[in-house]
Chain A
Amino acid sequence: MRGYAGKFAEINLTEEKVTEVRFDESTLRNYIGGRGLAAKILWDRLGERWDEIDPLGPENILLLLTGPMTGFYPGGRLCVSGKSPQSNGITGSTVAGEFPVELKCAGWDGLIITGKAKKPSYILVKDSSIEIRDATHVWGKDGKQTLLKLSKEVREEFDKKYRERLWREPGMVYIGPAGENKCRVAGVQAKWAHGAGYGGYGAVMGSKNLKAVLAKGTGPLPEVYDQAKMLELLDQVRKASIANDVWRRWGTGYLGYYVGNVQSSEPVKNWQEEWHDEKSFAVDQFESRVWVKRYWADFGCPTACEKLSVARCGEFKGAITDNPDYETQAYMGTNLGVFTPEANIFLNSVIEDLGFCGIQVGNVLGFAAELYQRGIITKDELDGVELKWGDAKAFAKVAEMIAHRRGLGDILAEGTYRAALKLGKIKNMNLLQYAVQAKGIGIGAHGIRSGLDYPQLHSYPCGAQGGDHTSVAYLPITHPSSEHTTILMDSGVYCMFNSFSVTPQFQIDFLNAVTGFNISFEEWYNEIASRVIAIQRAALLLGGPDAKWFGSDVNPPRFYEPLPTGPCKGKAPKLEDVEKMKSEYYKAVGWNEKGVPTSDTLKKLGLSNVDSVLKKKLGL
C-alpha cells in the first residue's frame, strides 16, 4: 500500500493500552483516509447503537486521521472526527499544521482514541512508541500556555534523552478550557488559532480527559506509487498556487469587506443583516495595521494564505492570532458588530486561548447579543455584562463565561441550537427563530439570501455536515464546490485552499499517483464520495441521544426574512424554491422523498447494513 504508513494506533485511555490496527487495501481504497475512513470506522463500531451513544461519554471514539495525500499535496492537514456533540452525526473536521506529518513520519496513519482517562492526560507519539502521560500541570491552562509549555517540555526532554540532534518542537493538537469543560462549541486546536472547529471535537477530547496529543516522527513519509508522476503534479499545483496572487497576498482576508459589501452574504449582528460598507474592515486595514507576517504557511504550502496578526500597541496590545481568515473576521467581527481589525484580532486571540471554534462560538455569541438587544436576556443574567453590538471586551467576557460554564454561559456552551431550546423553555418563547444553524452546527459565514454567494438553497439543509460552509450539498454533485469534492480533500487530507487553481480531476490524478488506486472521476463521485455521504447521512438521521434530524432538512428561519439593507434589500428565498432544490438533490443522490437513502442506493454502495439499521431505527 503506497502513500500510507500502513498502521493505525488504537489508544484505549480507560485501560491505558495501545494496540496496532491495520486496514486491508480494499477498505482503504473504498474510504481513502480522513473523513471517509472516519465514517467507516465509526459506523462499524457504533452504527448499530448510534442513537444511544453519548458523544460526550466514554463510548465515543475520537479519531485523529491523516490521509494518503497528507504531506505530499501542498498544505498538510489532520482530520478530526468522532460522533459529533453538535450534530450527533459524523463530521470530518480538518486542521492544518505539522502534527499529521509528524504522525505519518512516526509510522502511523492515524490514532483511534477510545475510553476515558482517569486524570488529565496527554498522548506522546515518538516514532513507534506511544505513551499516555499526566497532564495535570497544564489542565486549566489556556491555549497558548498549553502549547508553549508542553512543546518545550517534550523538546527539552528529547534533548536530554536522545543525543543525536538538537530537537525541534513536536507537532501538536490541544484543547483549551472550553474543551476541558465540554463546551459543544470547542475546537481541537493547533499552532495559533488553527482549529478543527466544526463538529465540536474539543469537547470530545475534554470528555476523555485528553488535553493534548504530541507527535515526533524521525522517519520519511511513506513511499508513493509513482514518485515521478507525483513530483510532476506537485510542481504543477505549486506553480498554479504561486500564480494565484490575490489569494496568496490576502488569503481569505479580503473577504471580510468583499462578502459583505459585494455579495451581501456576510453575517452582520447575528445575520439580522448580511451587508455592510465598513471600509475599516477592508483587507488593507489588516495588512497595514496588524499583519506582522504576511505569508504564514503550514507544511508544504506555497500559498501561505495565513498571516500572523499582532496588536503591538493600543488597548488590545498583546493579542496574537492568525490572518484572521474570513470566517473569523466575520464571526469575531461583523456578526458581533465589531468592525475594527484590532478589536477583531483581540477577540480571535481570546477565543483561541479559551479553545473555541471561532465560527461556532461567534454564532452563539451573536445569538446571545440578539437576545440582549431584544431584552430577552438581561445584564443581570450576564454577570453584569452589557452585551452591546461592537463591544469586543463585553463579548470576550461572555466567551469566558461560556468556556467556564459560568451562569448563562453554561447554557450558551451547549451551542446555538441547544441553547435556543433550553433558554426557550426557561423564557417560554420560541428562540429557534434567532438560531442561525443547521443540524446543530452554526452556519459558516456565507449566506444564501442574496443569491450571490456559492451555497445553494438546499446546501445547508441537505449537507452531511450541517452548517459547515466547507462541505455543502451542491448540484451538480461533480461541481468543485460540492461536498462530494470536499470529501476528496477531507479524505486525502490536504488543504482545500491549494485546490482552487486545479481541477478535481487533477486532485484525483494526484491521489492515484500517491496510492496507485487508479480511481476514475466517475468512481469518485458515484461510489466513493457517495458512500461516505450515505454513512454520514444515516448517522445524522439516527442522531441521538438528544437531537435527531429525521424529517428536519431545513434552513434557519432567518434565511427567509428579506434582507433589510444593501443593494440586495428585500431579497429572500421562497420556501417552495428551497423544497424544489431539496427534491432535486434527494433524487440526484438516491434518497427517497423523506431524505432517507433508498435501499437500492445503499445496496449499490455496499452498505446493506446501514439500510437495515435505518429501517429498524426509523421504523420505515
Chain B
Amino acid sequence: MSSKQVWVTRDFLRCSGCRMCEISCSLSHEGRIWPEASRVRVFMYAPGIEFPHLCAQCHDYPCVEACPTKPKALSVDEKTGAVIVNREKCISCGNCIRACPGHVPFLHPKDNKATICDLCNGDPQCVKICREAGFDCLNVVKYDKGQGEALNYRVYARHPKAIAEGLTELMFGEKMEV
C-alpha cells in the first residue's frame, strides 16, 4: 500500500460544477471554506463547461525543475508522487506557475506562497466528496512506481482554455469563444 503512488483522474463530462471539491479541499487544508485557496479549482469559462483543475503530477515535474531556490522549495513526495511545497523556502517568484503546462499552481491569497495539491497524503478529500455525491468526476487510481510512465497523466496539465474549447465543441456541437 505504502509503495503505491496515487493519481486523480478526471472525467470532465461528469463535473456538475458543484465545487464541493473546493469546499472539501479548503476545509481540509485551511479549516475554512475558501474557494481561491483550494488546491482544486473548478473553472467555468462558459457556464455548463465546468471542470476541476488540479495538479497532474507530470512525470518530469517541470514546476520542481523551475523552482530557483537552493535547496528547492518544491519537492516530490516519495510515497504519493505529490509536489510538496516548503513554504519557508518559497520566494513567491511564480516560476512554478509559468513552468506548469496547465498553470495549475498559484500563490496563496494569505501569504503569497506557492500552493499545489498534496494529494492529501494519498487520500484526496476532493475525490471523496465527488464520489459520495455520485458525480464521479474525480477518481483515484493507485499504481506501483515504475508503472507511472505508462500512464499519460500529463495530458491533464493543459491550459484551462484548451480544455474549455474542447468541451464547448463536444457539448454545444460548435466552437465557442471562451
The answer to whether A223 and B94 touch across the interface, beta carbons within 8 angstroms, is no
- B47: shortest Cβ distance to chain A, in Å? 4
Known: A105-B34, A298-B17, A304-B16. Is A166-B173 also a contact (CB below 8 A)?
A: no
In the complex, what residues of B have CB within 8 A of residue A72's CB?
A: 33
- B131: shortest Cβ distance to chain A, in Å? 11
A215 within 8 Å of B (CB atoms): no
In the complex, what residues of A have CB within 8 A of residue B107's CB?
A: 164-165
The answer to whether B135 and A295 touch across the interface, beta carbons within 8 angstroms, is yes
Count of B interface residues, CB-CB < 8 Å: 48
In the complex, what residues of A have CB within 8 A of residue B16's CB?
A: 293, 295-297, 301, 304
- B136: shortest Cβ distance to chain A, in Å? 10
B19 within 8 Å of A (CB atoms): yes
The answer to whether A293 and B18 touch across the interface, beta carbons within 8 angstroms, is no
Known: A168-B44, A169-B45, A218-B36. Is A297-B17 also a contact (CB below 8 A)?
A: yes
- Complexed CA–CA distance, A32 and B105 (Å): 38
A403 within 8 Å of B (CB atoms): no
Q: Within the complex, which residue of B18, B109, B177 is in contact with A218, where a contact is CB–CB below 8 Å?
A: B109
- Complexed CA–CA distance, A231 and B33 (Å): 11
B134 within 8 Å of A (CB atoms): yes
A64 within 8 Å of B (CB atoms): no
In the complex, what residues of B have CB within 8 A of residue A220's CB?
A: 26, 30, 32-34, 37
The answer to whether B133 and A242 touch across the interface, beta carbons within 8 angstroms, is yes
The answer to whether B133 and A148 touch across the interface, beta carbons within 8 angstroms, is no
A71 within 8 Å of B (CB atoms): yes
Which of A302, A312, A317 has the most B CB atoms < 10 Å from its CB?
A302
In the complex, what residues of B have CB within 8 A of residue A192's CB?
A: 47-48
- Complexed CA–CA distance, A313 and B18 (Å): 28
The answer to whether B36 and A105 touch across the interface, beta carbons within 8 angstroms, is yes
The answer to whether B133 and A296 touch across the interface, beta carbons within 8 angstroms, is no
Measured CB to CB, the nearest residue on chain A to B100 is A166
B55 within 8 Å of A (CB atoms): no
- Complexed CA–CA distance, A238 and B134 (Å): 12
B151 within 8 Å of A (CB atoms): no
In the complex, what residues of A have CB within 8 A of residue B48's CB?
A: 191-192, 292-293, 296, 308, 320
The answer to whether A166 and B17 touch across the interface, beta carbons within 8 angstroms, is no
- Complexed CA–CA distance, A17 and B17 (Å): 35
In the complex, what residues of A have CB within 8 A of residue B112's CB?
A: 164
- Complexed CA–CA distance, A292 and B167 (Å): 11
Per-position 1/0 for B37-69, Cβ under 8 A of A = 100011111111000000000000000000000
- Complexed CA–CA distance, A220 and B35 (Å): 7
Interface residues of B in 87-119 (CB under 8 A from A): 92, 94, 97, 103-104, 106-107, 109, 112
- Complexed CA–CA distance, A101 and B35 (Å): 9
Interface residues of A in 285-317 (CB under 8 A from B): 292-293, 295-302, 304, 308, 310, 312-313, 317
Measured CB to CB, the nearest residue on chain A to B104 is A166
The answer to whether A310 and B171 touch across the interface, beta carbons within 8 angstroms, is yes
- Complexed CA–CA distance, A320 and B49 (Å): 12
Interface residues of A in 190-249 (CB under 8 A from B): 191-192, 217-221, 223, 227, 231, 238, 242, 248
- Complexed CA–CA distance, A315 and B153 (Å): 40
Known: A71-B33, A152-B178, A297-B17. Is A169-B134 also a contact (CB below 8 A)?
A: no
Interface residues of B in 125-178 (CB under 8 A from A): 132-135, 159-160, 171-174, 176-178
Known: A191-B47, A223-B32, A313-B173. Is A164-B106 also a contact (CB below 8 A)?
A: yes
In the complex, what residues of A have CB within 8 A of residue B46's CB?
A: 148
Please name the 5 residue pairs, one residue from A and one from B, whose CB atoms are nearest each other, closest first: A165-B106, A297-B18, A220-B34, A164-B107, A166-B103
Residues of chain B touching chain A, judged by Cβ–Cβ distance below 8 Å, are 13-14, 16-20, 23, 26-27, 30-37, 41-48, 92, 94, 97, 103-104, 106-107, 109, 112, 132-135, 159-160, 171-174, 176-178
Q: List 6 A-B contacts (CB under 8 A).
A: A152-B178, A164-B112, A166-B103, A218-B36, A219-B36, A221-B33
